[in-house]
Amino acid sequence: MEPHEKLLVDTDYLEEDVHGKMLSCTKCHGGNPADKNWETAHKGLKKDPSYPDPSKSCGVCHEKAGEKNSTNLHTNLKPYMSKMALRMNPDKEVQAKVLKAMDTHCMSCHSSCGQCHVSRPKSVGSGLIDGHLFQKKPPVETNCTSCHGSRMEKEFFGKNEGVPADVHHVKGRMTCTDCHKGGEMHGSKEAPFDRYAQTNRARCKDCHQEIVFSNLVKSIKPLRHPSHAIHRDKVSCQVCHSVSYKHCYNCHIGRDKKGIAYFKTDPSVMDFKIGLNPNPTKDRPETYVTVRHVPIHKGLFDHYVKDALPNFDKLPTWKLATPHTIQLKTPQNQDCLSCHAGTQFYLTEGDVRPKEKKSNENVIVPDKCSLNVVHNWLPNTDRHLKSIGCLTCHTAFSKRPEKDCNQCHTLKSILLTRGFIIEEDCSWKEALTRLEFTNKEILERRDYIIGCNRIIALDYIGILLIIIIFIICVIHGWLRLTIVSRRRGRAG
Amino acid sequence: MKRIYLHTLAERIWHWLNAALFIILFATGIQLHWPDRFSFFKSFSHAVLVHNWAGILLVAVFVGWLFYKLISKRMSQYILTKEDFYPGMFIQTKYYLYGIFIDEPHPYIPSEKNKFNPLQKLAYFMTMFLQMPLLLISGILYLYPDCSPLIIKIGGLKTIAVFHLTMAIVFACFLVIHLYLSTTGDTIFSSIKTMISGYEERREH
């Protein structure tokens, strides 16, 4: 943006923008136009009339948004503060120094009504977006990504090397405001402890829902894959559908010899990690979520005050994350075994730095038991696992399959009704009930074989044969005993 | 009464071990085949476990029997001679169909070296050298289908399963006949006693 573009008010603002037509400059920004001395005329001028309190500017007309200003996360950064407070030293003197450091380094990173809808945020250099014309939806390039750039922008638009752009951008040409609506941006009635606890935040299910016909409307993208029902409330959407995203480490703040504030971090790392949800709630009940390492460090404030964060371990450094690298197909959702037979996607103890292990103990995924151990109740475990598809037992309707062999090994086998298609015109039921001796195709597909129950005719033939032989023996024996005893009687 | 030593201790142990294993295998096999109707054992998986181990034991017992017969040179008892085919089988069949009803003496007197009549020879030869190996091989393939590409070539597990079942039916038929014919000695239980003591007590005509 050129310097003059940042400053000059476009005449279109006065002619086209409702604010320009209805409100004078001084109504919002203050000042005294009658004063001929420019210095005194500009006395009390407000560069951003909406910050920190918009109630006498924007809030006069935009009451609802104005009322929520105190709880608006873009304005107050409350979750950031409340989490730092948990880690912070309770000593008042230390706290004062920490808060002063935060004021310098952290709290400047905020926005306001004007810094989204009229100009860029002050923390990224300000400057009018478009000659003071009000933007109903702040532009992504100048506003959203000017703050949310290093992570969200690069993830969503595929600017991280080797990581594809988010499918919503690629396929849907969607931008930030398509999901993050005004309601969410202006906050909720209560300031949440965590930004994910905000009640009106964007949710995947706003657009994607499992198929429930009663609420199926055109705008809903139905989730047809049975995995969604199986993993419902167990894993977050991102666990299956996001790819690598950015992790930051070791933020340190300070002032250089000239007194200029600076911060430095270790080089960021691209990775994908599934961790345990440290705080499952009704709203976010999943056991497994994607986690991101945040740049917090125990010595973050060391330049200003030592031992500022003695309770560092109270919160994890691997934090719940919703990466914006969503893909339909990801390495971890290729098949069930991607997640259920290995640890490469999980945040394991080995992934966590030794000094951070305690703080992340509720997030680290314990060593996963091998499939064979989990399924060792099955006789011939290996063979069962090789020949039965996971979904045969773990259906959407049986979250915890019964450990009952008779489910499959019976004439009324559940396999007959599970609807696995072998050929286009042939269901499992048809295939397995055919009076045929060969099952080469089924075996080659490594699908399940029920056994010899299928040839009912052989059962009948066998039973009949045994009965006939038994009857012959009985008749033979009866005749033998009767005739011989009679003959012996006569002879005797 | 004449006492003939027919069955050695090793043969008797093998016989009763075989009998016990077959009873177990039949019971578990029936449960496995009709799990919704029979539950002789605690659960299906228990039945599978018992059936598998009993089957493996049966293989071991069969191999032991084969070695014993070869080493002790008693295999010849199962070998049919020309005379066994004719007139042996004819005479024995006639006895079972007629002679036995008129209290005729057994046409063949067993001895330690030649203890089977021609029909017994034929039945036991078929059983031990054809049906038993087929039953055991099909069982092993059924138990370890990954161990041989043969399974795919012959049509898959289902073919093996059906074959195994067919052999089980044949053995069930054999068992019925075997049990009945064991009552055709001098008295109803004389053959069973012989199989326990090893000695056959025969009336002298």
pLDDT of A71 over the 50 cut: yes
**Residue boundaries of the structural domains of chain B:** 2-202
The mean per-residue pLDDT over the stretch A28-53 comes to 91
CB atoms within 10 A of CB B113: 9
| Predicted confidence (pLDDT) at residue A160 exceeds the cutoff of 90 | yes
Residue A465: predicted pLDDT: 96
Using CB atoms, which residue from B35, B151, B157 is nearest to A410?
Answer: B35
Q: Is B103 in contact with A484 (Cβ distance < 8 A)? A: yes
Across A216-225, A280-289, A328-337, least confident range: A216-225
CA distances from B67 to B70, B73, B75, B130, B139 (A): 5, 10, 10, 17, 21
Please, which pLDDT band fits residue A492 given cuts at 50, 70 and 90? low
| 8 Å CB contact of B159 and A437 | yes
Mean pLDDT (whole number) for A303-307: 92
The average pLDDT across A445-452 equals: 51
Please, which residues bridge with residue A262 across strands? A254
Q: What angle do CA A215, A218, A223 make, to 5 degrees?
A: 65
Q: What is the pLDDT of residue A421?
A: 40
Question: For A153-169, what is the mean pLDDT?
Answer: 94
The answer to whether residues A153 and A159 touch, using CB atoms and an 8 Å cutoff, is yes
pLDDT, tens digit, 9 for 90 and up, residues A238-257: 999 999 999 999 888 999 99
Q: A49: which DSSP letter?
A: T
DSSP 8-state assignment for residue B42: S
Going from the C-alpha of A410 to that of each of A453, B36, B43, B159, the distances in angstroms are 8, 6, 13, 18
Closest CA to A256 of A481, A104, A87: A104
Residues of B in contact with A416 (CB under 8 A): none
What local confidence, expressed as pLDDT, does residue A419 receive? 44
Distance CA(A183)–CA(A65), nearest Å, equals: 8
Residue A339: the pLDDT is 86
Spatial neighbors of A472 by CB under 8 A, at least 6 apart, are none
Alpha-carbon distance A242 to A80, whole Å? 25
Q: What is the pLDDT of residue B4?
A: 84
> Which is more confident, A382 or A412?
A382
Q: Is B66 exposed, middle or buried (0-12, 13-18, 19+ CB in 10 A)?
A: middle
For A387-426, what is each residue's pLDDT tens digit?
Answer: 677 777 776 666 567 777 777 776 666 776 654 444 445 5
pLDDT in tens, A95-114: 999 999 998 888 888 889 99
**Three-state DSSP class for B55?**
helix
Instruction: With CA atoms as reference, report the closest residue to A382 among B157, B57, B145.
Output: B145
% chain A with pLDDT above 90: 45
CA distance readout (Å), A97 to A89, A100, A302, A310? 11, 5, 11, 15
Q: CB atoms < 10 A from the CB of B12, how many? A: 16
Cβ contact, residue pair A469, B176, below 8 Å: yes
Q: Closest by alpha carbon to A410, among B134, B148, B192, B44?
A: B44
3-class secondary structure per residue, B110-170: CCCCCCCCHHHHHHHHHHHHHHHHHHHHHHHHHHCHHHCCHHHHCCCHHHHHHHHHHHHHH
Closest in A410, A461, A484 to B101, CB measured: A484
pLDDT value at A361 more than 70: yes
Query: Are A69 and A116 in contact, with CB atoms under 8 Å apart?
Result: no
Measured on CA atoms in the order B8, B14, B18, B19, is the torsion positive or negative?
positive
Rounded mean pLDDT, A22-42? 91
Taking 80 as the threshold, does the pLDDT of residue B98 lie above it? Answer: yes
Output A447 or A423, whichever has higher pLDDT: A447
Buried b (16+ CB within 10 A) or exposed e, A259-298: eeeeeeeeebebebbbbbbbeeeeebebebbbbbbbbbbb
Span between the terminal Cα atoms of chain A, in Å: 131
Q: Which of B176, B184, B188 to mutate to test the interface with A (most CBs of A within 10 A)?
A: B176
pLDDT range class, residue A2, cuts 50, 70, 90: confident
Q: Which of A136, A176, A129, A125 is nearest to A155 (CA)?
A: A176
Query: Per the CB < 8 Å rule, is A458 touching B166?
Result: yes
Residues B71/B122, Cβ–Cβ less than 8 Å = no
Helix ranges (DSSP H) in A23-77: 25-29, 38-41, 58-61, 63-67, 73-76
Arithmetic mean of pLDDT, A14-25: 91
- A234 within 8 A of A287, measured Cβ to Cβ: yes
* Alpha-carbon distance B134 to nearest alpha carbon in chain A (angstroms): 16
Split at pLDDT 50, 70, 90, the class of A454 is low
**Confidence class of residue B50 from pLDDT cuts 50, 70 and 90?**
very high
Which of A447, A452, A460 should be substituted to probe chain B, the one whose Cβ sees the most B Cβ atoms within 10 Å?
A452
Instruction: Please give the pLDDT value at position A277.
Output: 94
Residue at token pair 């044969």: A465
pLDDT at A427 over 90: no
Residue A442 reports pLDDT greater than 70: no
CA distance A148 to A152: 6
- What's the mean pLDDT when you consider all of chain A? 84
The rounded distance, in Å, linking the Cα atoms of A374 and A279 is: 26
What gap in Å lies between CA A361 and CA A444, rounded to an integer? Answer: 45
Q: Is the pLDDT reported for residue A457 higher than 80?
A: yes
CB B151 within 8 A of CB B160: yes
Q: Is A130 exposed, middle or buried (0-12, 13-18, 19+ CB in 10 A)?
A: middle
The answer to whether A250 and A170 have CB atoms below 8 angstroms apart is no
Enter the ipTM.
Answer: 0.93
How far is the CA of B78 from the CAs of A274, B75, B133, in angstroms? 69, 6, 16
Number of CB pairs, chain A paired with chain B, less than 8 A apart: 108
Q: Among A151-155, A426-430, B82-86, name the most confident range.
A: A151-155
Distance, in Å, from the CA atom of B163 to the CA atom of A88, rounded to the nearest integer, reads: 75
Residues of A in contact with B43 (CB under 8 A): 405
Q: Please give the mean pLDDT across all residues of chain B.
A: 88
User: How many other CB atoms are there within 10 angstroms of residue A217's CB atom?
Assistant: 6
Residues in chain B: 205
B23, B26, B54 from B20: Cα distances, Å: 5, 10, 9
User: Quick one: average pLDDT of A323-331?
Assistant: 95
Which is more confidently placed, A328 or A450? A328
Q: Is the pLDDT of residue B108 over 70?
A: yes
A440 Cα distance to chain centroid: 42
Average pLDDT over residues A336-358: 89
B43 and A405: CB-CB below 8 Å?
Answer: yes
Which of A42-51, A72-81, A337-346, A394-403 has the weakest average pLDDT? A394-403
The domain B2-202 is placed in CATH, from the list 3.40.50.720, 2.60.40.1930, 1.20.950.20, 3.30.70.270, at 1.20.950.20
Q: Do A449 and B151 touch (CB under 8 A)?
A: no
Separation of alpha carbons B151 and B142, rounded Å: 9
Q: Say what the pLDDT of residue A422 is.
A: 41
Tell me what percent of the residues of chain B surpass a pLDDT of 90: 49
| pLDDT at position B31 | 87
Judge: A487–B102 Cβ closer than 8 Å, yes or no: yes
Q: Are A422 and A428 in contact (CB under 8 A)?
A: yes
The confidence score (pLDDT) of residue A211 equals: 59
* Average pLDDT for B18-45: 87
- Judge contact between A79 and A200, C-beta under 8 A: no
pLDDT in the model for residue B47: 87
